């Protein structure tokens, strides 16, 4: 029985998905490459037998993961929101997991309705890499000065021009962003997690922030240099770019009318 022949309804659907980004060329569709958006659109179009365009809360780069990516699409018919997750779990590949779905009004937009995002970056700090975590963390075995890293991170909170912390070819003309927190959390095994929460992020911004903080922790950049790095508005002034596989889109927040944070922290 086709989806169209089943009892169904149209409208705008918001879906929260998690994915392992290791085998994707990022979120955004690219001709001839496997991407999260491309897989979602192909799956939904085949399921509903009409072309479906998926809009995401933001683009993650090749190799970057998501705990809570948000997408929306408009459908002329299809399963009601309370069945979308179940239906898609039987159709999507194992590295994309649908988590929750809801119907939203036509004013909602997965990207433009966002009020803040949270990214988490994981650093695995034991001497020998772990085969079960290497796809999701950056192995940094050298000792890190966490006190200096936290001091440097505090200088990034607030509204700044982040030209020094984004790709030289970043497409956004306005490089000013507001950062609400850059927090370092250490677990019982000594592994480190860097949480970056802000109104929005530029291309490679979180990865450059983390790479620069690691350089601070290793002693190659002074923590008190952060204001000067920001003021330089020059990518060459900051530190390295952390590899993509340690980064995860952790949470997305919308106005209260749309439910606030999409997942509990």
Residue 171, exposed/middle/buried by CB under 10 A (0-12, 13-18, 19+)? exposed
* Selection from 193, 185, 238 nearest residue 211 by Cα: 238
180 assigned binding-site residue? no
Helix, strand, or coil here: 165? helix
Positions marked active-site: 61
- What is the Cα–Cα distance from 156 to 160, expressed in whole angstroms? 8
**Residue 216 Cα to chain centre, angstroms:** 24
70-101: b (≥16 Cβ within 10 Å) or e? bbbbebebbbebeebbebbeeebeebbbbbbb
Residues in binding site for substrate: 119
Annotated binding-site residue numbers: 119
């Amino acid at each position: 029985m086709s989806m169209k022949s089943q009892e169904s309804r149209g409208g705008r659907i918001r879906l929260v998905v998690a994915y392992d980004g290791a085998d994707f060329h990022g979120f955004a569709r690219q001709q001839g490459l496997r991407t999260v958006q491309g897989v979602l659109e192909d799956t939904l179009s085949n399921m509903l037998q009409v072309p479906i365009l998926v809009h995401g809360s933001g683009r993650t780069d090749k190799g970057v993961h998501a705990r809570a990516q948000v997408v929306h699409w408009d459908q002329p018919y299809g399963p009601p929101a309370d069945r979308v997750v179940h239906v898609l779990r039987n159709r999507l590949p194992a590295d994309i997991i649908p988590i929750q779905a809801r119907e939203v009004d036509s004013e909602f937009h997965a990207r433009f309705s966002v009020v803040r995002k949270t990214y988490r970056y994981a650093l695995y700090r034991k001497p020998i890499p772990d085969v079960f975590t290497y796809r999701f963390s950056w192995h940094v075995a050298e000792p890190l000065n966490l006190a200096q890293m936290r001091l440097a991170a505090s200088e990034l909170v607030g509204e700044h021009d982040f030209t020094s912390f984004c790709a030289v070819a970043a497409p956004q003309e306005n490089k000013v962003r507001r950062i609400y927190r850059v927090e370092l959390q250490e677990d019982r095994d000594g592994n480190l997690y860097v949480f970056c929460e802000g109104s929005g992020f530029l291309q490679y911004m979180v990865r450059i922030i983390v790479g620069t903080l690691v350089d601070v922790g290793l002693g190659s950049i002074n923590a008190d240099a952060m204001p000067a790095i920001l003021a330089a508005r020059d990518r060459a002034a900051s530190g390295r770019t952390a590899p993509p596989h340690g980064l995860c889109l952790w949470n997305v927040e919308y106005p209260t009318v749309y439910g606030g944070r999409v997942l509990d922290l």
